Amino acid sequence: MNRLEVSDLKVWDSRTGSVIIPGSSFQLKQGSCLALVGESGSGKSLTCRSIMRLNQPGLRQSGDIVLDGVNLTGLSEKEMRKHRGKRLCLIMQNGMRAFDPSCAIGVYLQETLRRHFGWGRDETTARMKTAMESVMLKDPIGVMNRYPHQLSGGMLQRVMIALAIVLEPDVVIADEPTTALDTISQFEVVEQFQRLRETMGCSMIFVSHDLGVVKRIADEVLVMKNGEIVERGTTRDILSDARHAYTRSLVASKLALHQYFKKMTGGVGLADR
What are the start-end ranges of the H helices in the chain?
A: 44-52, 77-83, 95-98, 105-117, 121-134, 140-144, 153-167, 183-200, 211-217, 235-240, 245-264, 268-271
Cα 25 to Cα 255: distance, rounded to the nearest angstrom: 29
For residues 249 and 181, state if they share a domain.
no
For residues 51 and 143, state if they share a domain.
yes
* pLDDT tens-digit readout, 94-121: 777 788 899 999 999 999 999 999 999 9
Q: Which of 58-62, 107-111, 188-192, 212-216 has the lowest mean pLDDT?
A: 188-192
pLDDT of residue 260: 41
How many independent structural domains does the chain possess? 2
For residue 71, how far is the Cα from the chain centroid? Answer: 21
- pLDDT bucket at 234, cuts 50 / 70 / 90: very high
More reliable by pLDDT, 136 or 54 = 54
More reliable by pLDDT, 260 or 226 = 226
> What is the arithmetic mean of pLDDT over 148-152?
92
Domain with 266 in it? 242-273
For residues 266 and 206, state if they share a domain.
no
* pLDDT tens-digit readout, 181-207: 777 777 888 888 888 888 888 999 999
pLDDT of residue 112: 92
For residues 268 and 167, state if they share a domain.
no
Cα 122 to Cα 126: distance, rounded to the nearest angstrom: 6
Q: Is the pLDDT of residue 134 over 60?
A: yes
Q: Is the dihedral of CA 169, 200, 9, 213 positive or negative?
A: positive
For residues 250 and 150, state if they share a domain.
no
For residues 146 and 269, state if they share a domain.
no
For residues 164 and 271, state if they share a domain.
no
Give the strands of the sheet with 220-225, arranged side by side.
Answer: 88-91, 171-175, 203-207, 33-37, 220-225, 228-234
At 88, which CATH number? Answer: 3.40.50.300
Q: What is the pTM of this model?
A: 0.85
- pLDDT bucket at 252, cuts 50 / 70 / 90: confident
Q: Which of 4-8, 65-69, 177-181, 231-235 has the lowest mean pLDDT?
A: 177-181
